[in-house]
Amino acid sequence: KDANVIVRTTAGRIRGRYQKYRSGERGGYYSFKGIRYGAAPIGDRRFRAAVPERSWLGIRDASREGHSCPHKNMILDTFKGNEDCLFLNVFTSQVPKGDYNAEMPVMVWLHGGGYSFGSGNTFLYGPDYLVAENVVLVTLNYRLGPLGFLTAGPSAPGNQGLKDQLLALKWVRDNIAAFGGDPNQVTVFGESAGGSSVQLLMLSPLSKGLFHRAISESGSALNPWALGESSALRASRLAANLGYIGTNSTDDMLRFLKRLPAMKLIEGAPTTLTEDDYRNNIGLPFVPVVEGYWNNANRTIYTESPLITEKPLELYRKQKFQKNIPYLTGYNTHEAMLFIRRLRKNPKLLEIIENDFERMIPKDLNVTANRSRVTREIRQFYLGTKSVSADSVDEMIALLTDLMFLRGIRRSVRYHARYGNAPVYMYRFAFDGALGLYKRMLGLQRPGVCHGDEMGYLFKFGFFNLNLDPNSLEILVKNRMVRMWTNFAKYGNPTPAHRGDNLINTMWLPINPDSVMDNLSFMDISATLDVRKNPEFERQQFWDYMYEHYNGDAM
C-alpha cells in the first residue's frame, strides 16, 4: 500500500496516508485528516453562515487533524480550540484507481456535546470499526456555544453551527466520490446534540438531497434542551457581562462581541444562564433557534437562507419534514445518569429539587391552573413516598431520562412512522459493559447505561487501552452494533433478510405506522438482541395520559 496517497477535491489536491487498523482487524485504511471544508468564520463572518474554502495550488497535507472549534473541555473545564476550525476527516478502505471507483456507502458523523463542546476528532471517534465494514466515514467540526448559536438580529441570525454541518454535507456531495464514496448513498448520524442536529436537518428544506438515511442516538429535536427561545436577550446579557456599556443598537453590540477573543465568549457563555434555565434543567446557554426577526412593518426578515423557520413540533404537525428518509433512532436505559455529574458540582441539588419539585413539570404541558396537583402526580408516580434524596437517585434518573430524552425520541418516532414514507426503526441500548464511554470518563460506578455509553461500541477510542477477550460479550455487542449501523447505511435496513449473517440472529422490524400510539416495536440491544414492544411502558403510559389529559394530544 502507498504510505501516502493523493486525492483531488474540487478545491485542490490533498495528501493522506495509509494506516493499519488499531482494533485487531487485518489490513488498514486511508486516512485524510484536517480537510478544510469552510473558510475560517472570523472577523465579519463571526456569527454568520460559513462560506466554502477557496481553491488552492499545490498539494495540501491531510495527515493531521485541524483545530477543534473553541469550547471548554467537558472533564477538565479548560479552554480549547481556534475559530479557524471548519475541518473534516475522511476515512476509507479503498480509493479510486484508474477507472475503478468503489462507490461505498458514506456515513457522516455529527458529534454531541450539548452544542457547546467536543469535536469530530479521532481521540473519541476512531474510525476503525466502521471503516472495516466497507463504508466511508466522515467526521467533522462545527461551531459551538455562542460562536455557533448566538442570535441577535439580521447580522447574527442564528444556527451557524447547523449551517456548518450543511456546508460539510455539500462538501461530501461534491467530493466524496474521490475517496471511494457514493454521494447518492449518504447516511448522516449523530449522538445527543448531534442526534438532534440530524433531526433538525431532516426538518430543513436546505438539506434536501444531501443525505439519504439518518440515525439519531440519544437526541431529538423535540427534547426540551434541543431548541432555545430567541436568544437575542441572551446575546445582550453576554455582551453586558463581558463589559459592553454602549448603545441599545444590536449592530453596536455585535461589533463589540466580534472584537472579543473567542475564549472570552466561550468563558462568558455560562454567565448568561438564568435561574429559570436551571429550574428547567437546561444548562445549555446557546442552542439552535427558530430563525427570523421582525422589522418595523411587522414582517419576518431573513438575511441568509434560514435553516428552520418554525418549531419542530409545528413542522411535524404540518407534516413538513423529509418523509422519504429511512430513520433509525433510540436511547440508552439510564441516559440521565449524567445527573450525577451535576450532583457532584452542586451537592445541594437534591435538596433544591425536593423543595421545588414543580420544576419537574415539562414546559409544554398546559397545566397553568393545576400545577400543584400535577407536581403531586409526578412525585407520586416516580418517587412514591420517598423524598428527593440520596436514596432516590435512581428514581430521579428515570424521571430525567424520560423528560430530557425518551419522551421527545418517542414522539419523533411516532411522527416519522405515521406521516413518513420510509421505514422507522427504534432501539433501546441496554448493555452495561466495559466499552461504555461516558461512565468511564465520568468515573461513575453505579449500574446502568449512561448517556453516550453506546458510542464505545461504534468507535475506537484513544481513551481506552482495553485488551478484551475476542470472545467477550463486549466484542459481540460491538460487532453487532457496527454491523447493524453499517447495514442501515448500506440498505436502509439494520437487519436485511437477504444477508446471511451469523452475527445477527434477530430481525429488527420497523415501526408499524398504524399502531404508533399503542404498539411501538423496538430492538432491545443487550447481551442478546430482542424485539420488544413499548419501551419503559408504564412510565411512557403515564406521560401519554398526562399529555392527553392536559394538552388533548399524546402525540
Q: Report the distance separating Cα 550 and Cα 360, nearest Å.
A: 15
Q: Report the distance separating Cα 172 and Cα 183, nearest Å.
A: 7
At residue 495, the 3 state secondary structure works out as coil
Q: Report the distance separating Cα 486 and Cα 426, nearest Å.
A: 16
Q: What per-residue confidence (pLDDT) applies to 510? A: 97
- Is the domain spanning 1-325 CATH 3.40.50.1100? The answer is no
Q: Is 180 left (phi over 0), alpha (psi -120 to 50) or beta?
A: left
Among this protein's residues, is 192 annotated catalytic?
yes
- The active-site residue, picked from 192, 207, 218, 220, is 192
* pLDDT tens, residue by residue, 500-528: 788 998 999 999 999 999 999 999 999 99
Q: Report the distance separating Cα 17 and Cα 40, nearest Å.
A: 25
Q: Where are the domains of the chain?
A: 1-325, 326-551
Contacts of residue 201, Cβ cutoff 8 Å, sequence gap at least 6: 162, 165, 166, 169, 188, 207, 210, 211, 214
What is the DSSP code (8-state) at residue 209? T
* pLDDT tens, residue by residue, 133-167: 999 999 999 999 999 999 998 889 999 999 999 99
The CATH class that applies to domain 326-551 reads alpha beta
At residue 74, the 3 state secondary structure works out as coil
Q: How far out from the chain centre does Cα 333 lie?
A: 17
Q: Which of 369, 352, 364, 382 is nearest to 279 (CA)?
A: 352
Contacts of residue 93, Cβ cutoff 8 Å, sequence gap at least 6: 27, 29, 30, 102, 104, 131, 132, 134, 180
- The active-site residue, picked from 335, 454, 474, 536, is 335
Q: Do domains 1-325 and 326-551 have the same CATH topology?
A: yes
Q: At residue 128, what is the residue type?
A: D
Q: Report the distance separating Cα 73 and Cα 251, nearest Å.
A: 31
pTM of the model: 0.97
- The active-site residue, picked from 65, 216, 451, 521, is 451
Q: At residue 527, what is the residue type?
A: A
Among this protein's residues, is 451 annotated catalytic?
yes
Sign of CA dihedral 488, 491, 492, 498: negative
Q: Which of 235, 251, 420, 397 is nearest to 320 (CA)?
A: 420
Contacts of residue 173, Cβ cutoff 8 Å, sequence gap at least 6: 183, 186, 209, 210
Residue ranges of the chain whose pLDDT lies below 70: 1-3, 230, 293-300, 463-465, 498-499
Among this protein's residues, is 133 annotated catalytic?
no
Which residue bears the cell 453576554?
238
3-class secondary structure for 309-349? CCCHHHHHHCCCCCCCCCEEEEEECEHHHHHHHHHHHCCCH
Q: How far out from the chain centre does Cα 180 lie?
A: 26
Q: Is 168 left (phi over 0), alpha (psi -120 to 50) or beta?
A: alpha
Contacts of residue 278, Cβ cutoff 8 Å, sequence gap at least 6: none
Q: What per-residue confidence (pLDDT) applies to 77? A: 82
Instruction: Tell me the pairing of strands 424-429 and 293-294.
Output: unpaired
